[in-house]
Amino acid sequence: MEGDHSHSYWDGNDTKAFLKDAQQRALTTTIALTLVKHLIDVVNPDVVSMVTHTSNLPAPALRKFHQIAVVFAQNGYEAGEADPWNGHHIWMMTRGTQLANGR
């Protein structure tokens, strides 16, 4: 945020200007995964869908999306990638029936 203006960053190409160092990028990924875990704990959604904003992302970018899906899987969700559509990748995470029934 700069004053009343905010900017959305949709992929790594947008953030390269200020996250130049590999350690900074790795830390940012770790923070994002931690925040996903926190949101799961607080919001506890039944279903989450995740779609890439940018089409035809390279494998390193897609690995980060897979890491997010793994966080869901580690927290009782069935998580997996659907077939890509027009170069966009899609993941679905559904809370397992054991958690849905309060067990």
Domain of 49, in residue numbers: 45-97
Average pLDDT, the chain: 89
Would 60 be classed as within a structural domain? yes
Task: Judge whether residue 55 has pLDDT over 50.
Answer: yes
Would 72 be classed as within a structural domain? yes
Would 61 be classed as within a structural domain? yes
**Domain tally, the chain:** 1
How much of the chain, in percent, has pLDDT values that exceed 90? 68
pTM reported for the whole predicted model: 0.83
Would 1 be classed as within a structural domain? no
What's the gap between Cα 32 and its chain centre? Answer: 8
Would 57 be classed as within a structural domain? yes
The tens digit of pLDDT for each residue in 9-47 reads 887 888 888 888 999 999 999 999 999 999 999 999 999
How much of the chain, in percent, has pLDDT values that exceed 70? 91
Provide DSSP, 13-77: HHHTTT--SHHHHHHHHHHHHHHHHHHHHHH--SEEEEE-SSSS--HHHHHHHHHHHHHHHHTTE
Rounded CA-CA distance 10/54 in Å is 7
What was the pLDDT predicted at 97? 62
Would 4 be classed as within a structural domain? no
Going by pLDDT thresholds of 50, 70 and 90, the confidence category of residue 101 is very low
Locate 71 and state its tokens: 């966080």
Would 19 be classed as within a structural domain? no
Would 55 be classed as within a structural domain? yes
